[in-house]
Amino acid sequence: MSAGFVPPPYPYDRLDALLPLADALPGGVVDLSIGTPCDPPLPAVVAALSSSNSERGYPPSIGTDDLRRAFCAWLGRRFKVDVSTDQVAACVGTKEFVGTVPQWLKLRTPDRDTVLYPAASYPTYEMGAILAGCRPLPVPVLDDGSFRLDLAAIDPADAARALLLWVNSPGNPTGALDDLGAAAAWGRAHGVPVFSDECYCEFTWDGPPRTILEHGLDGVIALHSLSKRSNLAGVRVGFYAGDPDLVHYLREVRKHVGMLVPGPAQAAGVVALADDDHVVAQRDRYRRRLELLARVFAKWSGVDVPLPAGGFYLWFEVDGDWAFTERLAREGGALVSPGELYGKAYHRYVRAAVVQPLDRLTLVAERLGVT
């Protein structure tokens, strides 16, 4: 009998052993390992959670009319793209979407079995492929320091087997901004749907935020989340938008599984999407923290710590990821993520999420003796 599936350790659980080292310092651990927002959501959004009167009935899986209108209005405002309410649908945050979409695509296209995703990336792209019994295949990124996808490196035989290509811009962990037009064109040329995870788009530093939908809807899906934009990771509201046939198919299949954003969360999402001022304030917080922490880490360790083109992570090269992470935990009481969690080849990188207030980052600087 062959061995069945054994889930691997959850990536961040592997850091549990280092946490006590950091927590032993006076003031406790400053956790920069997971990209979980720490700043408050809008009070009006929190109020909407308790006043929607939507607790009793089942919420629509695709999202209420109001919520889908809010998604479309935001896309129009932010990117000047025109998407109709039947070309969008809600998801329960985006992680579940990333983790499950390969199995729905495999059912629809059983003669394809491969999921393509960036070699340095959010671990759920690979896990979604594994959970669908598919073949995960990392796409190399350019080695010019840009971390953009090297689409030309995809073997035509792999493209012919591909169910989808993931792009993620701004990218986690690298902060890279990809060429979304090139990705859309590659997908159309090879008959491969392109799924563009754009959950960090509001935190684009080099130029305006971008979406793959600016390059047409045909064969592409953009994925968005309120988790990072509006500090609502605990509320679980995301959405996907794009190719009408794909959206229709995913809406139908996801209804059957009962993928439902709770009604109060949908109501809160409408309020969050209508407001842009809180996003401006959040951008400012992340920017200041990125600049402070990049300076502190560079001065302390002597390595180059570049500011990202987007996102709220510092991603930088070190001698060894686990050794650096341990030393920083011991000496600075800060926990970062070893690069290996984002791709086997990245064991000489670490990622730091600037999800702690400035006074906590200043405490790390003081512990490290950086002024």
Ligand X SMILES: Cc1ncc(COP(=O)(O)O)c(C=O)c1O
CB of 267 to ligand X, least distance (A): 18
**Distance in angstroms (rounded) separating the CA atoms of residues 309 and 203:** 9
CB of 263 to ligand X, least distance (A): 18
In the bound state with ligand X, the residue whose beta carbon lies nearer, of 103 and 301, is: 103
In the bound state with ligand X, the residue whose beta carbon lies nearer, of 233 and 364, is: 233
End-to-end CA distance of the chain: 61
In the bound state with ligand X, the residue whose beta carbon lies nearer, of 271 and 368, is: 271
In the bound state with ligand X, the residue whose beta carbon lies nearer, of 172 and 211, is: 172
**Distance in angstroms (rounded) separating the CA atoms of residues 67 and 62:** 9
In the bound state with ligand X, the residue whose beta carbon lies nearer, of 81 and 120, is: 120
Least Cα distance to 138 among 172, 166, 102 occurs for 166
One of 225, 266, 282, 337 touching ligand X (CB under 6 A): 225
Residue with tokens 């509320």: 235
Q: Is 313 among the residues that bind ligand X (CB under 6 A)? A: no
CB of 34 to ligand X, least distance (A): 8
Q: Is 233 among the residues that bind ligand X (CB under 6 A)? A: yes
One of 11, 18, 22, 35 touching ligand X (CB under 6 A): 35
Give exposure, 325-340, as e/b (b: 16+ Cβ within 10 Å). bbbbbebbbbbbbbbb
CB of 301 to ligand X, least distance (A): 25
Instruction: List beta partners, residue 171.
Output: none
Q: Is 308 among the residues that bind ligand X (CB under 6 A)? A: no
One of 199, 268, 335, 364 touching ligand X (CB under 6 A): 199
CB of 295 to ligand X, least distance (A): 24
Q: Both tokens of residue 70?
A: 């809010």
**Distance in angstroms (rounded) separating the CA atoms of residues 123 and 265:** 26
Query: In 10 A of CB 34, how many CB atoms?
Result: 14
Q: Is 227 among the residues that bind ligand X (CB under 6 A)? A: yes
**Distance in angstroms (rounded) separating the CA atoms of residues 345 and 325:** 17
Helix (H) or strand (E) holding 69: helix 65-79
Q: Tell me the DSSP string of 165-231.
A: EEEESSPTTT-PPP-HHHHHHHHHHHT--EEEE-TTGGGB-SSS---GGGG-STTEEEEEEHHHHTT
- Chain positions 153 to 192 lying near ligand X, rule: CB under 6 A, are 168, 172
Q: Is 31 among the residues that bind ligand X (CB under 6 A)? A: no
- Chain positions 77 to 106 lying near ligand X, rule: CB under 6 A, are 93-95, 98
Name the DSSP class of 141: B
In the bound state with ligand X, the residue whose beta carbon lies nearer, of 122 and 315, is: 122
Name the site residues for ligand X (rule: CB under 6 A).
35, 93-95, 98, 122, 168, 172, 197, 199, 225, 227, 233, 238
